[in-house]
């Protein structure tokens, strides 16, 4: 699980930061996947500086319909089609995402040559592909807005073949059922419980990707115990009241949530264009004073969920 940040600025782009978009690279031996969370203007152009291609994106999750999270979507959809890509794509977002997408394509005389599904969501589980589950949580913002919690299913423990052999159970077709933890009756009449011969399951990784939000009741549940939380820090602590009045959070509030929810690592993003490099460092220090395991995302930064290590991506 790697996050690749394509845009980390709030509202408008700056010389150093584009508007919001982040890729989630789901690494799996047989079913790898690439998901996109929000799609601000210029997202497809930002992808040109990475190793990833829009044609590989399978799912796009839009938090809300403000332009800095959405205006890059029509261009990305059309470029994906013009490249001859035939892989299906599903878009998830609040009510209105269908009208926005279909209207932009229709009025511009555009279309997609690949299967495109648009799902207008409400709070609750919106996806379970057998490997991971995605749950949408309502946030506090002037427009309907959601945060997404992605949870990998636990990986079943390995079957202890040596222990089975010691118990006199020979290899056979029943090993598959035993590996699934099922109870099997052998040819000699013995009943074997597979769960007794399995190593402990490996817990799946959990991440929380917040849209724009002021502090709200659902935030704690969305972030509870995740390995990594991506949260906006639009303004500094001194401007907290202004941030909240516009449906945003301060550095202090994001850090307090990370601490109270017991997250592994906080990644700050969605930073106001008013902050230069020195200002961004001050924002980071405000968060780290409360929650030390904090990093500030920059465009083209990569964060590994497994190890929570920051790595700059070469451009």
Full 3-state SS string of the chain: CEEEEEECEECCCCCCCCECEEEEEECCCCCCEEEEECCCCCHHHHHCCCCCCHHHEEEEECCCCCHHHCCCHHHHHHHHHHCCCCCCEEEEECCCHHHHHHHHHHHCCCCCCCCEEEEECCCEEEEECCCEEEEEEECECCCCCEEEEEEECCECCCECHHHHHHCCCCCCCHHHHHHCCCEEECCCCCEEEHHHHECCCECCCEEEECCCCECCCCHHHHHCCCCEEEEECCECHHHHHHHHHCCCCEHHHHHHHHHHHCCCCEEEECEECCCCHHHHHHHHHHHHHHCCCEEECCCCEEEECCCCEEEECCC
Confidence of residue 315 (pLDDT cuts 50, 70, 90): very low
The proportion of the chain whose per-residue pLDDT surpasses 70, expressed as a percent, equals 97
Per-residue confidence (pLDDT) for residue 312, from 0 to 100 = 38
* pLDDT surpasses 60 at 307: no
Tell me the C-alpha distance between 163 and 193, whole Å. Answer: 12
pLDDT class of 308 with cuts at 50, 70, 90: very low
- Is the pLDDT confidence value at 286 over 80? yes
- Domain ranges across the chain: 2-155+202-312, 161-197
* Overall pTM surpassing 0.85 (yes/no): yes
Q: Looking at domain 2-155+202-312, does it have CATH number 3.30.1050.10?
A: no
Whole-number Å distance between alpha carbons of 130 and 26: 13
Mean pLDDT of 69-81: 95
Catalytic residues: 68
- Lowest model confidence (mean pLDDT) among 47-56, 167-176, 266-275: 167-176
Question: Taking 80 as the threshold, does the pLDDT of residue 195 lie above it?
Answer: no
Q: Pick the residue with more confidence: 313 or 154?
A: 154
The pLDDT-based confidence of 175 (bands split at 50, 70, 90) is confident
- Residues 293-303 have pLDDT tens digits of 999 999 999 99
The angle formed by the CA atoms of residues 286, 255 and 293, to the nearest 5 degrees, is: 85
């Amino acid at each position: 699980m790697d996050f690749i940040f394509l845009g980390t600025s709030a509202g408008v782009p700056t010389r150093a930061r584009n508007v919001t978009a982040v890729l989630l690279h789901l690494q799996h031996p047989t079913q790898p996947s690439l998901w996109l969370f929000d799609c601000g203007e210029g997202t497809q152009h930002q992808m040109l500086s990475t190793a990833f291609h829009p044609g590989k994106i399978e799912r796009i999750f839009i938090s809300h319909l403000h332009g800095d999270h959405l205006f890059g979507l029509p261009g990305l959809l059309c470029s994906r089609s013009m490249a001859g890509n035939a892989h299906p794509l599903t878009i998830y977002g609040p009510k209105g995402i269908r009208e926005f997408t279909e209207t932009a394509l229709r009025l511009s005389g555009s279309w997609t040559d690949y299967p495109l599904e648009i799902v207008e969501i409400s709070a609750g589980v919106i996806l379970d592909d057998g490997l991971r589950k995605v749950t949408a949580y309502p946030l506090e913002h002037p427009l309907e807005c959601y945060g997404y919690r992605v949870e990998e299913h636990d990986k079943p423990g390995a079957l202890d073949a040596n222990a089975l052999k010691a118990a006199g159970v020979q290899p056979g077709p029943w090993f598959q059922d035993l590996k699934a933890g099922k109870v099997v009756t052998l040819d000699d009449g013995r009943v074997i419980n597979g769960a007794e011969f399995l190593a402990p399951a490996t817990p799946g990784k959990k991440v929380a990707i917040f849209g724009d939000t002021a502090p709200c009741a659902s935030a704690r549940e969305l972030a509870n115990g995740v390995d990594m939380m991506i949260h906006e820090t639009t303004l500094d602590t001194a401007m907290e009241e202004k941030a909240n009045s516009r449906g945003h959070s301060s550095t202090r509030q994001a850090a307090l949530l990370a601490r109270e929810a017991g997250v592994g690592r906080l990644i700050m993003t969605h930073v106001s264009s008013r902050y230069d490099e020195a200002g961004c460092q001050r924002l980071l220090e405000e968060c780290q004073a409360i929650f030390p395991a904090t990093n500030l995302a920059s465009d083209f930064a990569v964060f590994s969920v497994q190890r929570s290590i920051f790595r700059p991506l070469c451009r």
